Amino acid sequence: MPHIQLLKTNELKATPQRLCILDTLQECGHATLEDIQKIISGKFPTLSLSTIYRNLNEMIQKDMVSEVKFANKKDYFEISKDKHVHLICQKCKKIEDFEIQTDDISKKIEEQTGDKVLGDTLCFDVICKDCLSTM
Amino acid sequence: MPHIQLLKTNELKATPQRLCILDTLQECGHATLEDIQKIISGKFPTLSLSTIYRNLNEMIQKDMVSEVKFANKKDYFEISKDKHVHLICQKCKKIEDFEIQTDDISKKIEEQTGDKVLGDTLCFDVICKDCLSTM
DNA sequence: CTATATGCAAATAGTTTGCACGGAT
DNA sequence: ATCCGTGCAAACTATTTGCATATAG
């Protein structure tokens, strides 16, 4: 969905600041706050830090943006998308998305615990293909 | 392993403060910083916040303690243990551990991406058995 | 025009650090 | 006597808030 549309759907005005934040997230795929600040200070220097914080929080509330946390790493933000797992390369730190079915695991958990599984957040530590080929 | 032993193995002196921190983690299973502070202020009021921070960081460095992060939630600390996934109840917020094989998923990822999988961090959002039974 | 969003500065929260003292070997 | 760990206060970093102004619809 185009970003203007995405904002309207969520009853947020399409300000240049918001569009810039969304563009930045899109461009990065996964961006830390630091990434966002750095990129924005290049293309929209007057966009203030409080506006970044306020809008990220708002967009997370509305589920337009997701916050992804990895052990021992900074938090990342991404535009919400279909269910996927994260592959994070321990060498170059790049993050890839990967689509995978997890129903069988959920089912196993439900059978063995009696709990009801609602969703999941999966992250795999990898060495990516590119890094492997240069080792 | 008893905590005194655990500390010695990692070349840390077994001070009352460190033992208290480890006991607290053990007692909670998974504890936020806030949990830790609250419990410690009850049983060891003079133990300072900087000592908590310093020791948690040190123990994480030495892999005695692991930091676990969940989207939209505070970070948790746990004494490092065998590979397991986390089940977090969205109603009562309790965290259970669950042991599961993930080799088949790793294999699928490796086949489809060409990456090498080193490890994983899996978290499932659930409604736990207890909460289910009182709904 | 009106409600909402922004920027700035100040407030608040979270974490780390420097240093002098105290306890264990 | 020496080394390491602790507590305290101060420093630093991260995040949120209040308010006057600007702007999208």
Q: Which positions on chain D have an atom < 7 Å from some protein CB? A: 4-10, 15-18, 23-25
Q: Which of residues 3-32 of B touch strand C (CB under 7 A)?
A: 13
Measured from the CB, is B59 under 7 Å from any atom of strand D? no
pLDDT tens figures, B52-93: 999 999 999 999 999 999 998 999 999 999 999 999 999 999
The H-or-E segment that residue A57 falls in is helix A49-61
Among the partner-chain residues A67, A106, A129, the one whose CB lies closest to the CB of B115 is A129
Cα A64 from Cα A108, distance rounded (Å): 31
Q: How far apart are CA B29 and CA B87, in angstroms?
A: 13
**Does the CB of B14 fall within 7 Å of any strand D atom?**
no
**Strand A116-127 relative to strand B85-89: parallel, antiparallel, unpaired?**
unpaired
What distance in Å separates the CA atoms of residue A67 and residue A36, rounded to the nearest whole number?
13
Determine the nucleotide nearest to B17 by Cα–C1' distance. Answer: D6
Q: How far apart are CA B45 and CA B87, in angstroms?
A: 32
Closest protein residue to D9 using CA and C1' atoms? B50
Question: Can you give the pLDDT at residue A72?
Answer: 87
The whole-angstrom separation of Cα A41 and Cα B79 is 41
Determine the CATH number of domain B84-133.
3.30.1490.190
Give the C-alpha separation, B97 to A107, whole Å.
Answer: 16
Q: What's the pLDDT score for residue B51?
A: 98
For residue B96, list chain A residues with Cβ-Cβ distance below 8 A: 113, 115
Q: How far is A129 from chain B (nearest CA, A)?
A: 5
The reported pLDDT for the residue numbered B72 is 87
Domain A3-79 in this protein, CATH class:
mainly alpha
Q: Give chain A positions within 8 Å (CB) of B75.
A: 69
User: What residue spans in chain B does CATH classification 3.30.1490.190 cover?
Assistant: 84-133
Structure token pair of residue A122? 């999966």
**Under a CB-based contact definition with an 8 Å cutoff, are residues A75 and A32 in contact?**
yes
Cβ-defined contact of A71 to B71 (cutoff 8 Å): no
pTM of the model: 0.92
Residue of A nearest to B106 (CA): A124
Residue intervals of chain A classified under CATH 1.10.10.10 are 3-79
Q: What percent of chain A has pLDDT over 90?
A: 95
Q: pLDDT tens-digit profile of A34-59?
A: 999 999 999 999 999 999 999 999 99
